[in-house]
Amino acid sequence: MNSTFTTILRIILALGLLVFGFNKFIGFMPAPELPETAGSFMQSLKATGYVLPIVGALEIFIGFLLLIKKWVPFALLLLAPISVNIVLFHLFLDLPGIAGAIVVTVINIILIYKYWKVYRPLFQY
């Protein structure tokens, strides 16, 4: 669980989550050019007034937990549905931008695998 490889992946994932989480609040990175359907979907999420701030706050929280190596298995479980939704968004609405989504999801899967001993009791009855 504490190999150099795991540590590097955890830190890369944490930094990416922190950057994209803070960007949802501060907006320091320009929004990418999206296809019409993806742009409409993102505008709908923005119009709700709560979805993107909650996702941003979760990304910051998860990134912070991963960075300080606190409750890592919990953070990875919180990230799982977010990473699946990121992949599905790009798969169905913005296929050219799917590379980053795949990277986040693959790192999440690798880290969950590395911490599998912690999750094993969840599947025993």
Q: Could you give the count of Cα atoms lying within 13 Å of 92 in the half-sphere of its Cβ?
A: 7
Domain that holds residue 72: 4-123
Helix (H, G, I), strand (E, B) or coil at 61: helix
Task: Give CA–CA dist 24/55, Å, rounded.
Answer: 8
pLDDT of the residue at 94? 94
The model carries a pTM of 0.91
How much is the pLDDT for 103? 97
Tens digit of pLDDT at every position of the chain (125 positions): 569 999 999 999 999 999 999 999 998 999 889 999 999 999 999 999 999 999 999 999 999 999 999 999 999 999 999 999 999 999 999 999 999 999 999 999 999 999 999 999 988 87
Q: Is 87 exposed, middle or buried, given 0-12, 13-18 or 19+ CB atoms closer than 10 A?
A: middle
